[in-house]
Chain A
Amino acid sequence: MNFDKEFDASGLSCPLPIVKTKKSLTDMTSGQVLKVIATDCGAVKDMQAFADQTGNTLLSNTEEGGKYIFFMQKK
């Protein structure tokens, strides 16, 4: 999937993946896509909840070799 920016949250625990995802989105424009990589399994549900509550769209959510990959499209 194409993306405009990447944020690697590997090794970070709650709430850093979410809080820093929010920060990464700040300087992006509407419609752009942020790729987030996380190793915290709690991030899977948190990232969906973040999308639901902020209006950003979680385009996909996959696991590859112990890493969770998210594509978040900015509102």
Chain B
Amino acid sequence: MTTKKMAIIATKGTLDMAYPPFILASTAAALGYEVQIFFTFYGLQLLRKDLSDVKISPLANPAMPMPIPMPVMVQMLPGMESMATMMMKNKLKDKGVASLEELREMCLEMDVKFIACQMTVDLFEFDKAEFIDNVEYGGASMFFGFAGETDICLFV
């Protein structure tokens, strides 16, 4: 049986959008896939050692279930983003959903390869010292070298 392969492009840096790449990558790795995730633009935030800045905003996010209906004028007040993030993290914990840190660690344990977009690092003047160690830096061509031979390729 030849090893199946999956490539994911992670472009978002919010709490809700951080989950799909790590959930799918860890699951695929558990199923025996060889997996690479290419982190670009805001997705690079998911490679920081400290993930506390990865948040969810209720603003312009009408699909987010809220305990009480909240007018947009209220959602934009200072502190609402932190509150929504705290509520979401508590909910995730209550329901036994892994933290982002735990899922990311599991991906690494199962040899999921993380590639950071060098162009975005330069664009946003990110400090590589703030990223976790197990990251390779590369560009689109490097990603296609792997993505071109995958069975599944996803853009998140």
Partner of A15, one of B26, B95, B109: B26
- The answer to whether B30 and A50 touch across the interface, beta carbons within 8 angstroms, is yes
Contacts of A12 in B (CB 8 A): 96, 98
Assess whether A16 is in contact with B98, with CB atoms less than 8 Å apart. yes
25 A-B residue pairs with Cβ-Cβ distance under 8 Å, sorted by A, are A11-B96, A12-B98, A13-B95, A13-B97, A13-B98, A14-B27, A14-B97, A15-B23, A15-B26, A15-B30, A15-B98, A16-B96, A16-B97, A18-B27, A18-B31, A19-B26, A19-B29, A21-B30, A22-B31, A23-B30, A23-B110, A39-B96, A50-B30, A53-B32, A54-B32
Q: How many residues of A contact B (CB 8 A)?
A: 17
CA separation between A14 and B98, bound complex, in Å? 8
Residues in A whose Cβ lies below 8 Å from that of B59? none
Which of B31, B98, B106 is in CB contact (< 8 Å) with A53?
B31
Cβ contacts under 8 Å, B95 to chain A: 13
Residue of A nearest to B102 (CB): A16
A13: chain B residues within 8 A (beta carbon): 95-98
Q: Report the minimal beta-carbon distance from A49 to chain B, rounded to whole angstroms.
A: 8
Residue of A nearest to B33 (CB): A53
In the bound complex, residues from chain B placing their C-beta under 8 Å from that of A11 are 96
Specify which chain A residues have a CB less than 8 angstroms from the CB of B26 in the assembled complex.
15, 19
| Contact flag A23-B27 (CB < 8 Å), given A13-B97, A40-B96 | no
Interface bits A6-35 vs B (CB < 8 Å: 1, else 0) = 000001111110110111000000000000
A19 pairs with B96, CB closer than 8 A: no
Q: How far is the CB of A37 from chain B (nearest CB, A)?
A: 13
Residue of B nearest to A17 (CB): B96
Alpha-carbon separation in the docked complex, A37 to B37 (Å): 31
